[in-house]
Amino acid sequence: VNPDKWIRFCETQVCLNKETDSIYCEIFNYYAMECASAGINIDWRKDSCRKTCPKGFVFSEQVPLCPLTCDSSNSEFESKTCDFGSRPSCHCPKGQVLENNTCINATECPCWYQEKKYKHGAKVKMECNTCECKHGLWECGKKACPAICRILGRSNIKTFDGSFYDFEPSACEYTLLESRADNDLNLKITLMYSKCKEIWIDDLNCIKSFTINHNNHSLHICNNDTTVNGIRFSGQSYYNEEISVVPVSSHFILIAAQGFRILYSQDQQMYIQLDDTFKDKIQGLCGNFNHDINDEFYESSSLLMDKYNFVSAYKEELCPEPQRKDIETHPCSVFSFNIKQKDENCAIFENSELLGACYDVVPYEHFFHLCQKEMCTSTHNNNAAMCIVLETYLRECALHGTHIKLSKAIAEKCSTCHTFESKSDLCEEDCIPGCVCTSGTYLNSDGKCVPLESCDCVDVTTSKKYPAGSEFFNSCGKCKCVNGTFKCSKEKCKEEVICPKNQIYYENVTCVKTCQKLTHQGKCTTLPHQGCACKTGDVVGPDGSCVKPSLCPCRYDQYWKPSGSTVCWASGDPHYKTFDGKHFSFMGDCSYTLAQAKDKSFSITVRNVKCGSFGVTCTKEVYIAILGNFIHLVMGKTPTINDVQIPASGYKGTGLEIRYAGLFLIVFSNHGLTVLWDF
């Protein structure tokens, strides 16, 4: 950099100014900057030109014009685009970054979540994972989060994958979800619709009841009545070893079982939560739960349908067809008598001062339009429909970590009992509207708030309720209901409890692990109880015996196959597949041993004969020798065992069973051999 022009500039400025010291420093500063831009650094500052920096900062000749901050240190975009050179300036020491005009260690940078700043080390729950702020970034758990299907109003649905739609229900039953035929989760939930009581319009139907079919339990809930396997239970609570029904506030009841939870309110609100074990294994109006919002309206056959046909596919067979509408009509254009109330009440969703903190997390527009629809088809209390939608919106906000406290006026406007911040331990900290018991009191099985010493007890093995202080005898002594739990004597059992197979008796059993649920245990929600179970590390097999998980059989169709079992088959002209999966064919017209045990406990022989006019052979006869019996299977003839025809009812003998199944005959034996014959 040629210094001549700077020398002339310096001479001119000195002649024009009296403060020569400051002029020297300024001109040298500019010259050093030009040198720096050319890649030459000059250490020129002496004591007379020293710079004083604020506390915590240091001075350097070359400081990037985009200083390193907590935000920029974690921004890949800014680090690549902020290239404006450097200049002499004060900056943070090495290892520190700028935060609110203060230098802090880079490891202490805060984190942002939903427009709120959190200090280093702070923890926040995001969905089902807990996240910790570390070095300006969130580190979150990696749990697979459950999904929620929501039914709001008469028929507004949000699927497990987040798709929104509504439909006009007929007065009949609809399937919300059911496990697909290719798995054994055994869950089906249906909704029954009937004419809305308070509405005088004939063709509007509301939710009347719902039914849950899970494993061997059929649970039907209508109003406050609970019916299990056809038996009606008094009160509001029900417990057994697999499923429980508990009121969690004045508005909601909770149905919980392993892998799923349901919150239900008579105010036409329902939330179904599934564990990730149900992913890709269900179908119904709640969608297919595959984390893909784009394929909700697909039938099980992978055929894309419109909304009308999709809904029709999941209604009961005899359900009347609703009138198909090619153009959706907004209810407010039909029922205009509620227009004024609709505009007044639903305006709350556009009140940014009240709800604005949640707008970026849960957009309000969907709920605003839903409020208008519900208001126009409601003849309840003028505010009821709005309050239900508002409760739902606030719950969605709370589930995303934003809690909004409404003013007392708004809370009272909705009803005398609603409190939008209510929580219940039974709900795993879910936020739900309704009244809860005051501090020091607890909700009993009849839905009443009582002090702890008045809490009743429930035996989950029998579903029987015991009042506080009551006593009864179990198999191992006397028990007393104290503070909602059973206190049992430690006396040795006079009569030893006999458990089935090789199971063991335990005082506290919860969620027995089985081969059937080996791959989808889900979250355990049942209460501890006395009963039989397997020792730690074992699971209950299909026959009730305890086995190692690695020895669990596999379920195929309706049958259990032992661990390690495989299939060999012979078919056609003829083709073979070995137990190890090798395929081959040959045209021999003789008798051949298909399979034979090394210990000679069984043998299967097939006889091939010529068939057709091209010289090919077919398997015509099968001979099975097993357990001292001789089974003869001939194509086109009635099968025999020991030369006696096998009747249509089949055959049962010691360790052997023969059964007809459609066009097939199946031979079962107790040493794990199964033969399927297409007769």
Whether 159 and 299 share a structural domain: yes
Q: Which two tokens stand for residue 41?
A: 């650094």
**Same domain membership, residue 595 and residue 524:** no
CATH number for the domain harbouring residue 288: 3.40.1000
Mean pLDDT of 478-493: 75
Tell whether 163 is covered by a domain: yes
- The 10 Å CB-count burial string (b at 16+, else e) for 356-377 is ebbeeebebebbbebbbbbbbb
AA identity, residue 278: F
Domain presence at residue 101? no
Residue 348 has pLDDT above 60, yes or no: yes
Contact 651, 657 (CB under 8 A): yes
Domain of 15 in residue numbering reads as: 1-50
- Does residue 382 lie within any of the structural domains? yes
Give the C-alpha separation, 176 to 255, whole Å: 15
Task: Give the integer Cα–Cα distance in Å for 161 and 147.
Answer: 7
In terms of domains, do 244 and 127 share one? no
Burial of 268 (0-12, 13-18, 19+ CB in 10 A): buried
Residue 286: what pLDDT? 94
pLDDT greater at residue 198 or residue 385? 385
79-95 residue pLDDT tens: 444 555 567 778 899 88
**Cβ within 8 Å of residue 310, ≥6 positions away:** 296, 297, 299
Report the pLDDT value the prediction gives residue 327, as an integer from 0 to 100. 47
Q: How far apart are CA 668 and CA 559, in angstroms?
A: 11
Tokens 């004591």 belong to which residue? 47
Query: Tokens for 90?
Result: 């004060």
Residue 337 lies in a domain: yes
Q: What is the pLDDT of residue 85?
A: 55
Highest mean pLDDT among 50-64, 146-160, 186-200: 146-160
Distance, CA of 648 to CA of 636 (rounded, Å): 15
Rounded Cα gap, residues 251 and 265, in angstroms: 6
In a domain, 97, yes or no: no
Q: Of 102, 121, 140, which one is at a domain's C-terminal end? A: 140
> Does an H or E element contain 48, and which?
none
| 265 within a domain of the structure (yes/no) | yes
Highest mean pLDDT among 56-60, 405-409, 473-477: 56-60
Which residues have a Cβ under 8 Å from the Cβ of 317 and sit 6 or more positions away?
A: none
Residue 429 above 90 pLDDT? no
DSSP category for residue 647: P
Give the pLDDT confidence score for residue 415 in this predicted structure.
34
d(CA 204, CA 193): 10
Is residue 214 within 8 A of residue 178, CB to CB? The reply is no
Under a CB-based contact definition with an 8 Å cutoff, are residues 6 and 30 in contact?
A: yes
Among 458, 488, 518, the domain-final residue is 488
Could you identify the residue written with the tokens 């039953």? 173
Do 303 and 358 sit in the same domain of this protein? no
Q: Is residue 363 part of a domain?
A: yes
Same domain, 380 and 261: no
24 lies in a domain?
yes
| pLDDT in the model for residue 524 | 64
Is 300 found in the same domain as 186? yes
Domain end marker among 261, 280, 314:
314
Out of 174-178, 355-359, 568-572, 656-660, pick the least confident: 568-572
| Termini Cα distance of the chain | 101
Report the domain count for the chain: 7
SS3 358: helix
pLDDT of residue 460: 62
C-alpha atoms less than 13 angstroms from C-alpha of 494 in its C-beta half-sphere: 6
Contact indicator for 263, 271 with CB cutoff of 8 Å: yes
On the CB side of 570, CA atoms within 13 Å amount to 22
Tokens for 648, please give them.
Answer: 């249509």
> Can you give the pLDDT at residue 425?
35
Which pLDDT band, with edges at 50, 70 and 90, does 641 fall under? very high
How many whole angstroms separate alpha carbon 665 and alpha carbon 679?
7
Nearest-angstrom CA–CA distance, 592 and 608: 8
Say whether both 627 and 665 belong to one domain.
Answer: yes
- Single-letter code of the amino acid located at 495: E
Report in angstroms the alpha-carbon separations of 141 from 125, 374, 431: 10, 39, 22
Query: Is the Cβ–Cβ distance between 299 and 180 less than 8 Å?
Result: no
Q: Residue 456's pLDDT band (boundaries 50, 70, 90)? A: confident
Q: What percent of the chain has pLDDT over 90?
A: 12
Say if residue 186's pLDDT is above 50: yes
Residue 484, pLDDT score: 81
pLDDT at 410 over 60: no
Question: Average model confidence (pLDDT) for the chain?
Answer: 78
Kindly state the average pLDDT of the residues 192-217.
Answer: 82
Examine the domain organization and report whether 392 and 356 are in the same domain. Answer: yes
> Would you say residue 414 has pLDDT above 50?
no
Give 181's strand partners. Answer: none
The two three-digit tokens of residue 104, written as one number? 């802090």
Q: Are 184 and 168 in contact (CB under 8 A)?
A: no
Q: Rounded CA gap, 506 and 504, in Å?
A: 6
For the segment 361-398, what is each residue's pLDDT rounded down to a tens digit?
788 888 898 888 888 776 555 577 888 888 888 888 88
249 with 336, same domain: the answer is no
Assigned token pair, 631: 């089974």
> Per the structure block, which two tokens stand in for 341?
């109330």
Residue 584 has pLDDT above 80, yes or no: yes
Does residue 412 sit in helix, strand or coil? helix
* Least confident among 240-249, 500-509, 609-618: 609-618
On the 0-12 / 13-18 / 19+ scale of CB atoms within 10 A, 164 is middle
130-139, 470-479, 522-531: which range is least confident on average?
Answer: 522-531
pLDDT tier at 422 (50, 70, 90 boundaries)? very low
> Beta strands 504-509 and 485-488: pairing type?
unpaired
Element (H, E) at 343: helix 339-346
Tell me the per-residue pLDDT of 4-56, one tens digit each, with 9 for 90 and over.
888 888 888 778 776 666 777 777 877 877 787 677 777 777 777 877 888 89
657 and 633, same domain (yes or no): yes
Question: What value does the CA radius of gyration of the chain take, rounded to a whole number of Å?
Answer: 37
Please, what sign has the CA dihedral across residues 11, 15, 19, 20? positive
DSSP code, position 144? P
Residue 224 has pLDDT above 90, yes or no: no
How many residues comprise the chain?
Answer: 679
Nearby residues of 420 by Cβ (< 8 Å), 6 or more positions away: 391, 394, 404, 405, 406, 411, 431, 433
pLDDT of residue 409: 42
Helix extents (H) in 55-167: 70-73, 76-81
The most confident of the ranges 75-84, 522-531, 657-666 is 657-666
Q: Is the pLDDT assigned to residue 491 strictly greater than 60?
A: no
Distances (CA, A) of 613 to 98, 570, 591, 618, 636: 91, 21, 21, 12, 20
Please check whether residues 191 and 210 belong to one and the same domain: yes
Percent of the chain with pLDDT over 70: 78
Q: Phi and psi dihedrals of 73, rounded to 5?
A: -65, -20
Confirm if 48 and 28 have CB atoms less than 8 A apart: no
Given pLDDT bands bounded at 50, 70 and 90, which one contains residue 272? Answer: very high
78 pLDDT band, cuts 50/70/90, is very low
Same domain, 128 and 152: no
Least-confidence region, from 74-78, 257-261, 564-568:
74-78
**pTM for the full predicted model:** 0.53
Q: Which residue would you say has higher pLDDT here, 571 or 345? A: 345
Q: How many angstroms separate the CA atoms of 321 and 312, rounded? A: 8
Where does the pLDDT of residue 304 fall: very low under 50, low under 70, confident under 90, or very high at 90 and above? Answer: low
CATH at 539 = 2.10.25
More confident: 511 or 135? 135
